Amino acid sequence: MILISEGEFTLGLNPQSTVLQFMSEKTSALNAQPEQQYFLEAFYIDQFEVTYEEFLKFKPQAQYPTRKMYLPVSGVSWYEADAYCHWLGKRLPREHEWEKAARGNDNRIFVWGNDFEKGTANFGKQVQPVNTLKGDVSSYNIWGMNGNVSEWTSSWYQPYPDSTLQDKNYGKKFKVTRGGSIHKREHGFLQQFAMLPYRNFSPPEMRFWDTGFRCAKSH
């Protein structure tokens, strides 16, 4: 695990930023506004996404169509991910913790900076091992946060402080997932889906083959 020190970081997006000129006013990233300085206590987060090899120690009876144990586990519900982390004496990261660990302290939009670099993270058709892409490493030395598989967080899908966005999905119905994933190359808004502040949300009981997780722990 990697220790992320306490302190403020830039949470969310400023739509007026010059690095976000490709975004439209109708973008789904409106739920990541307003941009703000947000304080977090120190916490630990896994350097790599949880693999099949690790998860099957917790749930050995599970059947997955893969023999590649170093791939990030996917197709697990939020409840399974949450149970695995607690089994280890850890927990799922809160979405703000996930964002700080991915963006660092210099307000970057991707783990490598503010300019989209195709091929640096895995948005292709096949999931890759958790330690494959050396370009997809945050300033805290955490791997695979920009692509490969999206990740469950512990957070319910709620508005940010001072947000004016009205969203019928807010509440305790959906859990936030973070990070880009495979099968994103065909989308017209590729850059938006790949941005670290981008917030997606899913029913906690569902399983998705492009979504995995990593664990966190309070300091």
Q: How many other C-beta atoms lie within 10 A of the C-beta of residue 209?
A: 13
Tokens encoding 173: 């119905």
| 36-49 per-position pLDDT tens digit | 999 999 999 999 99
Per the listing, tokens 């975004």 go with 23
| Counts of helices then strands in the chain (DSSP H, E) | 4, 9
Q: What is the mean pLDDT of the chain?
A: 89
Task: Label residue 11 by pLDDT band (50, 70, 90).
Answer: very high
Please tell me what DSSP assigns to residue 66: -
Per-residue pLDDT at 119 exceeds 90: no
| 160-176 per-position pLDDT tens digit | 999 988 999 999 999 99
The pTM of the whole model exceeds 0.85: yes
| The pLDDT value given to residue 185 | 55
Per-residue pLDDT at 18 exceeds 60: no
Adjacent-strand bridge partners of 45: 2, 216
Per-residue pLDDT at 17 exceeds 60: yes
| The pLDDT value given to residue 177 | 96
Task: Label residue 5 by pLDDT band (50, 70, 90).
Answer: very high
Spatial contact of 156 and 84, defined as CB atoms under 8 Å apart: no
If you classify domain 1-219 with CATH, what class do you get?
alpha beta
Q: Which string of DSSP letters, residue by residue, matches 108-174?
A: -SBTTBSS--TTSS--SSS---TT--TTSB-TT--BSSSSSSEEEEEEE--PPTT-----TT-SSS-
Q: Where are the domains of the chain?
A: 1-219
